[in-house]
Structure 1
Amino acid sequence: MNLPNFLTSLRFAMIPVYVAIFAQGHMIYAFLVVVAAGLTDILDGYIARRTGQVTTVGQMLDPLADKLMFISVILSLLLAGHISWAAAAAIFLRDLGMIAGGMVFHFKGKKTVPANWMGKLTTVLFYIGIMFVFLEAPFADSYLWAVIAFSFLTAIVYIILFQALNKPGSGQNKTIGPGQ
């Protein structure tokens, strides 16, 4: 257990804390837990790369912690009526497609595309959208739909990059991970 993996574990622990605070109706405090989770995500990746503490466990747990927190936030906002079923379904459809596709390609021994600036920007834009929803901004729904559209564009770019990376003659098939 190194510091980056500890921070990732801490993010897992923040999920039930977020849910409990949200369930009590404390929107701002719940959002602050989400922000704290985001900060630990940035910090654990930075520390892992900077100090050479990238581990296989961390590479697996880090995105899982991120996805579970994100799913918890989207589900809680959906069940509380803050976002529409259609928005939640579009978000889950895109994420599940990316996760399932990545797993299939990984287990088939195909090269996978590491996270790039578009994927990271999509994440930042989603969290800004979530902030707008928590703050009940009047344009939150429109903004969220714009981010959903951008996230599907990002998914298309990943598919194109995947195909280019795995076309015949592109080198030996092996999995490339995004680091921690």
Structure 2
Amino acid sequence: MNLPNLLTSLRFVLIPVYIGIFATGRMIPAFFIVVAAGVTDVLDGYMARKLGQTTPVGAMLDPLADKLMIISVIVSLLAAGHISWWAAGALFLRDAAMIVGGLLTHFGGKKNVPANWIGKLTTVLMYAAIMFIFFEAPFARTYLWAVIAFSFVTSLVYLTAYQTLNKTKTPPTNV
């Protein structure tokens, strides 16, 4: 196992740690676990590219670890009454679709769309929304809805890129 994949694995370990700390009502330490997960996300991607250690397993596990951490945060914030059912549902729907789509792509032998700037921006904006919610900023819920809308636009960008990347030329038919 290379170092980038080890960092991705650490994100999976941080999920139950986050849940345990959040469940005790310690919001600030829980938030810093989320930040630690975000830092490992940035580091593993950077190191994989810089060290030439990108792997198919890492390409599948990295976004999965990301989505599972975000889903854990969403569920915990929903359970604590910090976000609405509608916001949680929209985020869950989008992230679940991304996970299922990624798995179908991987196991279906299709080409995976690599992370791009709009996906990375969406992740940064989501982490900012989480921070605003944790620190109870008055505009946090409005900002969260803006990020949710942006995340659906990002999904459409990825879907278009996926279709272009996996486009197969069909032979012309003689009618």
Could you state the TM-score of these two structures normalised by the residue count of structure 1?
0.86
Q: Residue 143 of structure 2 aligns with which residue?
A: 143
Identity over the aligned pairs, expressed in percent? 70
Instruction: Give ranges in structure 2 of 5+ residues lacking alignment.
Output: 171-175
Superposition deviation, residue 17 in structure 1: 1.3
- Work out whether residues 71 and 95 of structure 2, in 8 Å CA contact, stay in contact via their aligned partners in 1: no
Select between 53-62 and 34-43 the one with higher mean Cα deviation.
53-62
Question: For residue 117 of structure 1, what is the amino acid of its counterpart?
Answer: W
Distance change in 2, residues 1:109/1:16 (3 Å): closer
Q: Secondary structure, in 3 states, of the residue corresponding to 2:109?
A: coil
Distance 2:4 2:112 in 1: 23
Letter in 1 for 2:4: P
Residue equivalent to 2:20: 20
Structure 1 residue 112 displacement after superposition: 3.4
Distance in 1, Cα, partners of 2:60 & 2:110: 17
Alpha-carbon distance, 1:76 to partner: 0.4
C-alpha separation between the residues in 1 aligned to 2:111 and 2:2? 28
Q: Which has the higher contact order (CA 8 A, sep 6+)?
A: 1
Alignment of 1:10-159 (within 5 A): 10-159=10-159
Shift in Å at residue 98 of structure 1? 2.2
The total of aligned residue pairs comes to 170
Q: 1:101 to 1:10 in 2, by over 3 A?
A: closer
The DSSP-based 3-state class of the residue aligned with 1:119 is: helix
Deviations 1:32-90 (A, max 9, x none): 11101111111122122211222333223222221221111111001000000000000
- After TM superposition, the structure 1 stretch with the greater mean CA deviation from structure 2, 47-56 or 13-22, is 47-56
Query: SS where residue 64 of structure 1 aligns?
Result: helix
* CA 1:111–1:45: 2 relative to 1, 3 Å: closer
CA distance in 1, matches of 2:56, 2:107: 16
Superposed CA deviations along residues 72-121 of structure 1, whole A, max 9, x for unmatched, are 11110010000000000000111122222333344443333222111111
Write the distance in 2 (CA, Å) between the matches of 1:146 and 1:111.
30
Amino acid of the structure 1 residue aligned with 2:134: F
